[in-house]
Structure 1
């Protein structure tokens, strides 16, 4: 349970309902000015793009290409952040009259980041300038070789830099050492958006950026970046555009997934849109998702959306099977401070998803590796108490390539080094997590009764949207709630469906992935939950999303 609001804070925000005040306080908004900018989520949260290191150099080099007709390649990544960033710069630079082509590597045959072979192929096609999005910050040797071959590289990235940075024409990354940019949590598409903002500002066309903010919102939510500060503004504006006038590809995805047009929120992106955009790059080639975002043909949009729907279903089946195998593997090894599952048959495109599921289940940093005869690749997911990119940095002498963030990273290494990597990472985790309580915790915003949630409570809390990492959906505790009915639902009884009552009010509730706890359901429960809208067959109903429960004490 998070601490109650100090009396002085309540007095200072007396015009705001007490529950909303508590929620704002819980999100670290201590000053009146912070509260105002958070609730407004307007342009005041957007920072000057010229504050980003090397922005002047990047703008100058790109304009040189635009004015001379020099072809530009946008070198992206195969996840939703990289795909949306690629689409954003291709569309944005084309609008300025540029000759622009996309390049997105194949996850399975090329892997993450800049590759010398791909850069050389682009040079042979007549490309003189490559702008990276969502990659490049750790590609030292690749940029050095490209420079010697006569290619100019402008890097835009948001991943953690190494002590040495590549010798690019310009590097735009808010995490660069010495950067004075006020917000460091931009995604790859967010950094690309700032580059385009600087370009458009310099020619008085900043108003046209509004047409591209939907792409910035999609990539920001999909990459699970904190929805605070500038990200909050980008996502709010992007959702407004997608609900008012979605591009053809997004509309086709919405229809294919059975969502209601005009009611898209950040959760819809996280659970519906992003997994479908990511499905192409996980199983085949991400260019299908790029084409969906860029198409002006309703027929092509519909065809690609159907194909992505099929790939996403395939991805779900593959993930479930692999999670079962990886779970068995880690259990047979014994639960240690860091979990490793490795196999030659693991599909690399879903390794990160499998690692995430194991982190959810065991609350341990997890590494899932697809082993090869000579080269192996892995995806890592972590917990707040353990910085996985710092652990990989300590092990970099064993790795061919690596990159990422504190909670998510990836690497490639010679297979012969894998046992030593496992040993090094486990030792690092054992030291770092000694004494830590390795159990997942829920932060509860407030204790309420179910009758307290009536009236306009839900509508009031929506002032805090968009919700996501850093600004979670409000979580409540209610004690001694009576259970009228409870039964399992879903494939294999994986979930629980409740009918609950308290103080004369009745509520429906669902507890996802808690089907195994049916025997623990008592006549009266203490429940931890948040409120959500259940959209089913054109109807919208408010219900409880139950995250945990225990017999009432």
Structure 2
């Protein structure tokens, strides 16, 4: 992360961990708040002890009672999801769970382009006309006050399962299961939508005295949790760690086809594989067309059907990549055409709605500012937002709620829609809010480094030991080291544009191979050193050979 301010964690080793773990491992755990033997053992095991009691979820009892009644009386239940990977996996998980218990359950995922996010009155009315009497939402609904009121008017009962921030007023639903409710006593707030769905299904099976067949459910929970960038701590750590085991051992037909399309190998998948390969493919259909295709792939019962759907998703994903590159370039031009404001506001009427969030994310990553990308169409404006640590974008949007038709999200990612005529007021108000709040934020990204290390300390079996800290992802990143006064023995550039650089580095007699992606030009200015380098340890698997090397994240002239 070039241009970042380095922040190295304390080098202290907690007394309780000393002697039980290598010094570097103990320092890394301490920096992540793990300072006792009991906490270390629990974190490294990542087992079912991290799973919380479903009985603590708000409204779980009335939800169970209403679903059991629907099953016993043969009612038709609609599972109403979202069109991102979290929503698709949550829909597949809930439908599978309800059907396993004997329910007549059907999926409903809104069309991103024609319907938009969340519960919609027209869709609910259509479901009622088709004989649905109970709607169970997943990954949406907690802010749908008006829509749930309307649903009751035409005879629908609604159970909400969600993980987004509620408004002050809750919808008048039969039950609202959301660990982020202010009155919730559930110990872990950071479940994804699919994580909440998993807990509801777990409760339904337990209430009927039936063992939960966890394999496919955990596989789906892992994918949705990683894709929604939820912290891989607490209960999420258990869901993802166990889900990855099942995904590697015996993936469902649809997921096996995605693994094959991405040229991944079952047995070697990790959270990064989900983030960069699996989730984008599942997401691709919903970004450009209808997300039901991703759902159908997850539910595919045969390899032939799965392969046909995976081929279509592969094509959509390539198109998504092309469109993202195109509209990111256009957005960058807008940003660079004027002064760099605390909040980046970009408009592009041609940007597909499914690409808005990707563009906003790229802008926030590059310029380290909250970003809002807006599209106008037919008198309405739709926006996707991404933020930076320290600025809660959803709270900022909430202060503009009187101008908006719909909105919702997390601290770092959100979306909203409003009438185009109100867009100037919105732009002015949210820019004013951002300028005031961001004034106290250092708009220089911080690179949090776990520990300083000498080259001779990172050899041996340290890499295998550190892997016990995985799965790695949000709030549990791969360990970052800094080594100082390193000399570059030799180097060569790589890539079509020679933008990468491969090197041999030495410090105190120890020599390591290293690679710095997209940093060749900057690195060559400092060669042959000495330099300070920040890096992860990684296993390079090129041409069937496995070589442990340093993946250079940042560097500077030796201090």
Partner residue, 2:339? 334
RMSD value over aligned CA atoms?
1.6
Partner residue, 1:388? 393
Distance in 2, Cα, partners of 1:501 & 1:109:
58
2:411 corresponds to which of 403, 406, 415: 406
1:459 corresponds to which of 461, 464, 475: 464
Does the C-alpha gap of structure 1 residues 511 and 306 become closer, same or farther in structure 2, counting only changes over 3 Å? farther
Equivalent residue pairs, number? 552
Give the C-alpha shift of residue 333 in structure 1. 2.8
Distance in 1, Cα, partners of 2:302 & 2:385:
38
Secondary structure of residue in 1 paired with 2:342: coil
Kindly indicate whether residue 412 of structure 2 is the aligned counterpart of residue 438 of structure 1.
no
Secondary structure of residue in 1 paired with 2:213: helix
Instruction: Work out whether residues 9 and 449 of structure 2, in 8 Å CA contact, stay in contact via their aligned partners in 1.
Output: no
Kindly indicate whether residue 128 of structure 2 is the aligned counterpart of residue 123 of structure 1.
yes
Q: Deviations over 1:112-168 (max 9, x none)?
A: 001111111111111101100000011111110001110011000000000001000
- Structure 1 segments of 4+ aligned residues over 6 angstroms from their partners: none
Partner residue, 1:348? 353
Matches within 5 A, 1:420-439: 420-439=425-444
Distance in 1, Cα, partners of 2:493 & 2:432:
41
Partner residue, 2:454? 449
Instruction: Work out whether residues 136 and 160 of structure 2, in 8 Å CA contact, stay in contact via their aligned partners in 1.
Output: yes
Give the C-alpha shift of residue 435 in structure 1. 3.5
Distance in 2, Cα, partners of 1:288 & 1:414:
31
Partner residue, 1:169? 174
Unaligned runs of at least 5 residues, structure 2? 1-6
Instruction: Work out whether residues 118 and 141 of structure 2, in 8 Å CA contact, stay in contact via their aligned partners in 1.
Output: yes
1:313 corresponds to which of 311, 318, 321: 318
Give the C-alpha shift of residue 423 in structure 1. 1.1
Distance in 2, Cα, partners of 1:258 & 1:459:
24
Kindly indicate whether residue 472 of structure 2 is the aligned counterpart of residue 472 of structure 1.
no
* Larger CA deviation: 505-514 vs 459-468: 505-514
Partner residue, 1:527? 533
Unaligned runs of at least 5 residues, structure 1? none
Distance in 2, Cα, partners of 1:502 & 1:17:
21
Q: Deviations over 1:356-388 (max 9, x none)?
A: 111111111110111224001010000111010
Does the C-alpha gap of structure 1 residues 499 and 86 become closer, same or farther in structure 2, counting only changes over 3 Å? same
Instruction: Work out whether residues 16 and 37 of structure 2, in 8 Å CA contact, stay in contact via their aligned partners in 1.
Output: no
Q: Deviations over 1:466-520 (max 9, x none)?
A: 1111111100001222224444444544444334334444433333343552543
Matches within 5 A, 1:533-544: 533-544=539-550
Partner residue, 1:250? 255
Does the C-alpha gap of structure 1 residues 415 and 535 become closer, same or farther in structure 2, counting only changes over 3 Å? farther
Distance in 2, Cα, partners of 1:517 & 1:211:
46
Does the C-alpha gap of structure 1 residues 508 and 288 become closer, same or farther in structure 2, counting only changes over 3 Å? farther
Q: Deviations over 1:327-381 (max 9, x none)?
A: 1101113101110111111121111111111111111111011122400101000
* Larger CA deviation: 514-523 vs 67-76: 514-523
Q: Deviations over 1:275-331 (max 9, x none)?
A: 111111111111111111111111121222222222222211211111111011011
Does the C-alpha gap of structure 1 residues 448 and 13 become closer, same or farther in structure 2, counting only changes over 3 Å? closer
Q: TM-score, normalised by structure 2?
A: 0.95
Q: Deviations over 1:381-425 (max 9, x none)?
A: 001110100100000111110000111000001111112111111
Q: Deviations over 1:210-252 (max 9, x none)?
A: 3311000000011000000000000011001111111111111
